[in-house]
Structure 1
């Protein structure tokens, strides 16, 4: 007979004693169970003891986590969290350095357990740890383990960061980060503390930003220790995300500077090691922050009265048609040029930039393409201006819609995810990564337009294909823009059609094999077969015209064949050209259905 579900069979160990095998009743209070275990070993003062897991993090067993106990678990009888916290605190406050170090090592290990951490904090244990840091006398193991303990204790969220607002502790931690050469553990946990303080308290942000040497963070990204790299990048991200509005522009220079990108490429992405999940998340955050700097331009409409914006449009026209002097051009000729450029409103192309998104970001992309890839821009515009109006790929309209698609794919304006690890390494290779991304894709759009032999009516269809091409090319995780370009070139329109068909077939096969679909098919199968039979018989009764093939294999006259209403006799005969099937009575020849050869009768017998 199996034991009751509330009974868990476990072993309890204690140094210097034989282990006990007990039936732990989950309905019984934990204090009573501990008391019974202590009594069996003649241990007094059971209130000072607790049970602890022996595997994993060796956390204390409490009323909240006792449901995790399984049959066969091995437990350890040890001092309670309260007594352990008091003992550790006495040693940390004591005069002996060796005892203090041992206590800090033990606390660093045990403070992962929220039960011990809460007891230690309740006994004001954070103050002596802060005193060690603020005193500045320790720089070795004692300081390293002290910082470790503070990080672990604060990570549980039971203590407020307000107690650090006086600044002495914060400035000391910042000084460790500002040093070029520092113990790896001290630097790791100092960076971790800075990130947490930046995230949790605005006053601490002001203290940190005034003391921190920001270029030193990039130096820490160049080390080989990936934990330090991750924390350094996390601090950089936090500096921007938590900066006041008036400081955003200055912090934007930090996350977009060339030195940061190059350091990330050389020492993080291309260092030959696998990037762990925490670093991948921080790279995701940084890339999303950089791309979101484009959000303002994406949401700004064009001002038709702004001369600088109007000059930008003239600039696009002049680069494409630079053999024509501006002062010699009439307004009607401008309109023709803007039409060749592919704007929907060729009289006032500013109207094309009134939709947000993509707003002015589309014009920025077009200008970048025209200036940085001048020959490709001119070739694209002139090539389409020479086609028929129906078949030309409108550069202006395409650029605006493509920019909108890219904003959606790269999620511009969407805050960084708290858990995502996705990023594109190639976006760290260019100062104007989004603009280069656009330049590659607009040329792809023109290529795909030609492959599809598209007309103006097919514009939305072309955009759908382009979106799919870009999405599929990004799946290969190209590390350079040239790799991305080659991936796009390999995805022709014909390839997209094949991939769509394959995806559809795979989905259908998966759907058709599901039990509900199979059951439904069997249920409606007789009804469907009967419907097919009736449709075929109806079609035979209506009659069909055929070309009669003579002995010379020439197609001579037409003839008609109809099935009688009782479905037993075929009536057939010659008919005139361009005539519909005649009445069945007018067809002179007939044939009984049952006398037809078997291979002809078979289709109807199936019915």
Structure 2
């Protein structure tokens, strides 16, 4: 059975029709909220038997009025129609946080949506307000209402209606009265609801809360509350921080009188990172709002043992990866400490402070620089001491380093006297020009610390967390003491004298900078790093850096062009070296066809003739005897007759040779093919260097450009040496050389070319 198809021509041009649904048209389903009845009045009770559970709907997000859609849906679902503002649509809980559908967010409705038809936001607000106002003997019922309220407070539409219904004022009164102060399960969701409601733009701000409200919230932080809970503590800290940063001066004073800085330290030991971040944030807020005297007390607490232990044992606990928010707050506290050091660096010390240092016994010990009484009482020594103190006073009067130096030296002499005593003892054993003065070096070391720690100003890319500031009660003093010991150790390792002070300072700066970049976790770890980065280690490090820099310079376009320009000459030099090696001659083993041939005929001596046109081959009696050459068996092979040269292991094919011994098959050496009907010569040796040298030399003689790996490495090495020598006195390699301007006359020609110049001139000027 056959079938046929018929076609016809259209009477008019066909038009393409887009059958896709417009983007603003979405289709989905709406289900009835099973709990809608509790939000409606009693006379609007909805029977499950008289209503439908869901319906399908098409929604035009761009043109359809939302209220009309809700009315149409309520009719389709057979709901009562007593008032206009009864119903609303909500997203599902896992979609847009279950918010009410409004004109502002209806663009978020997706194709295949699933919405809930429920009571209006006004009905929700009235429901929660009435439940909060009602007296109930069942505490669990109140807790359920408060937990349910938390889920709705993040919706701005509900929050607005809740404000209008008086719900926010009711929450405040419940907190101020201490209604749930003994019940953490109720108070915690109460504060969470309050925080969520205040996130929206409402009629009340944090500056408008009462002092009684602040006191009640503060009790949850300072430990005056009867019970404590992480959720309650977190909400309380966040509320107090928001009130503190409001624009009300009176509320700020109330907060600072109720919440003392030291009461926050114990909360840093919590395992909840949210609490740690909030506590650190509140600490920084308290400091920023405090007066000068209060700031001084806060800084003392930052250096106290309880704060250090809390940060070390909990915040910086090793298995935990530091949260970014916590790290940023720690950086802010670190900057507070650095700013305090900056104030000292910008202040000149008083004469009394300088005099107190001059009276320090350990700094004036006779064993410091001159142990023997004769030397210590000599006019030269006394004059040197007077100059040291005079220069020290001039240095510390400059700001920076200012009083930061005097405080560092004073604390060093008090807490680390052994360090100074050891320096004095070693200096007393040195010659006069090999000693260094702590008084003269200390201001320079403090200046380096100011620079490396960015004490005076924050770096452009922001501060980085330096953990050692939180691992010591005296972080700057401990850093300074380690720095002094580092200078003393490096001075000894460099065998320095008074003329090398600047060089030693430069070295110790690099040592400390490298170690700080490794972000040591404690002062002990920093000291280990400083010991590891000794002066010999730094020399090796500088050598590697120089090599890396030279390698980077050799990768530039200019250096690459120069390398290609020099390569032919270097290759020719290497080839010439290989040919000269052939002229020195070499003995090789010789393959024989019969085992009966005497051992004296199993070696031969090859060398290149001086004219580089012939290879001379002579049998020799033994491999060890260089003089037992058989002149009668000498033969010459013309270089021009050589067709091919090969090298390698196992290149003697057993099947093509009369040698069936596997030992012969695995021999290494050189194979030379001579003549049109090639005669093959096998030069056997196990020395790879000899094989490569002869292969390179023979290839150079017959015009083959191939080079062995060893020869290529030698070419690259010689190229690098030549290039480095040429670039030795060039600080910066230009990317391109500008062309000089065209000459206007012939004055640039040498005098020897004067005749040529006259001839050229006459030629140009002649018709």
Q: What is the TM-score of this pair, normalised by structure 1?
A: 0.69
Per-residue deviation at 1:198?
A: 2.2
Q: CA separation of 1:362/1:144 partners in 2, compared to 1, >3 Å: closer, same or farther?
A: same
Gaps of 5+ in 1: 541-550, 552-593
Q: Distance in 2 between matches of 1:245 and 1:198?
A: 17
Per-residue deviation at 1:357?
A: 2.9
Q: Which residue of 2 aligns with 1:52?
A: 91
Q: CA separation of 1:151/1:486 partners in 2, compared to 1, >3 Å: closer, same or farther?
A: same
Q: Which residue of 2 aligns with 1:191?
A: 237
Q: Which residue of 1 aligns with 2:384?
A: 336
1:206-229 CA deviation, whole Å, 9 max, x = no partner?
Answer: 223333466543444445555445
1:302–1:350 contact (8 Å) kept in structure 2: no
1:392–1:455 contact (8 Å) kept in structure 2: yes
Verify: 1:162 aligned to 2:201, yes or no: no
1:177-207 CA deviation, whole Å, 9 max, x = no partner?
Answer: 3327523033332233222222334322322
Structure with bigger gyration radius: 2
Task: Determine which of 439, 443, 452 is the counterpart of 2:481.
Answer: 439
Partner SS for 2:390: coil
Q: Which residue of 2 aligns with 1:253?
A: 300
Higher alpha-carbon deviation: 432-441 or 472-481: 472-481
2:338–2:455 contact (8 Å) kept in structure 1: yes
Q: Which residue of 2 aligns with 1:108?
A: 150
Partner SS for 1:55: coil
Task: Determine which of 323, 330, 340 is the counterpart of 1:293.
Answer: 340
1:86–1:120 contact (8 Å) kept in structure 2: yes
Q: Distance in 2 between matches of 1:24 and 1:511?
A: 66
Verify: 1:91 aligned to 2:131, yes or no: yes
2:30–2:54 contact (8 Å) kept in structure 1: yes
Which one has more relative contact order, counting CA pairs under 8 Å at least 6 apart? 1
Per-residue deviation at 1:129?
A: 0.9
Q: CA separation of 1:525/1:269 partners in 2, compared to 1, >3 Å: closer, same or farther?
A: closer
Q: CA separation of 1:289/1:24 partners in 2, compared to 1, >3 Å: closer, same or farther?
A: farther
Q: Distance in 2 between matches of 1:484 and 1:309?
A: 31
Task: Determine which of 290, 300, 307 is the counterpart of 2:352.
Answer: 307
Q: CA separation of 1:48/1:410 partners in 2, compared to 1, >3 Å: closer, same or farther?
A: farther
Q: Which residue of 1 aligns with 2:256?
A: 209
2:553–2:559 contact (8 Å) kept in structure 1: no
Aligned pairs (5 A) from 1:316-327: 317-319=363-365, 321=367
1:275-296 CA deviation, whole Å, 9 max, x = no partner?
Answer: 5444444444334334433232
1:221-261 CA deviation, whole Å, 9 max, x = no partner?
Answer: 44555544544444444333311234323333333332332
2:30–2:55 contact (8 Å) kept in structure 1: yes
Q: Distance in 1 between matches of 2:515 and 2:567?
A: 47
Verify: 1:134 aligned to 2:176, yes or no: yes
Partner SS for 1:148: helix
Verify: 1:239 aligned to 2:286, yes or no: yes
Q: Which residue of 1 aligns with 2:395?
A: 352
Q: CA separation of 1:485/1:527 partners in 2, compared to 1, >3 Å: closer, same or farther?
A: closer
Q: What is the TM-score of this pair, normalised by structure 2?
A: 0.56
2:408–2:480 contact (8 Å) kept in structure 1: yes
1:462-482 CA deviation, whole Å, 9 max, x = no partner?
Answer: 555544543443455444321
Q: Which residue of 2 aligns with 1:150?
A: 194
Task: Determine which of 380, 396, 400 is the counterpart of 2:443.
Answer: 400
Q: CA separation of 1:163/1:526 partners in 2, compared to 1, >3 Å: closer, same or farther?
A: closer
Per-residue deviation at 1:78?
A: 5.2
Q: Which residue of 2 aligns with 1:365?
A: 408
Per-residue deviation at 1:336?
A: 0.9
Partner SS for 1:260: helix
1:469–1:496 contact (8 Å) kept in structure 2: yes
Per-residue deviation at 1:486?
A: 1.0
Q: Which residue of 1 aligns with 2:224?
A: 179
Partner SS for 1:347: helix
1:309-361 CA deviation, whole Å, 9 max, x = no partner?
Answer: 23314536314756799xx979974551366xxx6xx6342111233333211
Q: Distance in 2 between matches of 1:126 and 1:510?
A: 68
Aligned pairs (5 A) from 1:422-501: 422-424=465-467, 426-451=468-493, 463=505, 465-496=507-538
Partner SS for 1:49: strand
RMSD, aligned CA: 4.9
Q: Which residue of 1 aligns with 2:640?
A: none
1:353-373 CA deviation, whole Å, 9 max, x = no partner?
Answer: 233333211222222223322
1:8–1:70 contact (8 Å) kept in structure 2: no
Q: Which residue of 1 aligns with 2:609?
A: none
Per-residue deviation at 1:128?
A: 1.0
Partner SS for 1:357: coil
2:25–2:60 contact (8 Å) kept in structure 1: yes
Q: Which residue of 1 aligns with 2:578?
A: none
Q: Distance in 2 between matches of 1:109 and 1:432?
A: 48
1:94-118 CA deviation, whole Å, 9 max, x = no partner?
Answer: 3346665434212323333455445
Q: Distance in 2 between matches of 1:146 and 1:368?
A: 52
2:121–2:158 contact (8 Å) kept in structure 1: yes
Q: Distance in 1 between matches of 2:161 and 2:549?
A: 55
2:354–2:406 contact (8 Å) kept in structure 1: no
2:92–2:116 contact (8 Å) kept in structure 1: yes
1:53–1:76 contact (8 Å) kept in structure 2: yes
Q: CA separation of 1:40/1:109 partners in 2, compared to 1, >3 Å: closer, same or farther?
A: closer
Higher helix share: 1
How many residues are treated as equivalent by the alignment?
A: 527
2:244–2:251 contact (8 Å) kept in structure 1: yes
Per-residue deviation at 1:532?
A: 5.4
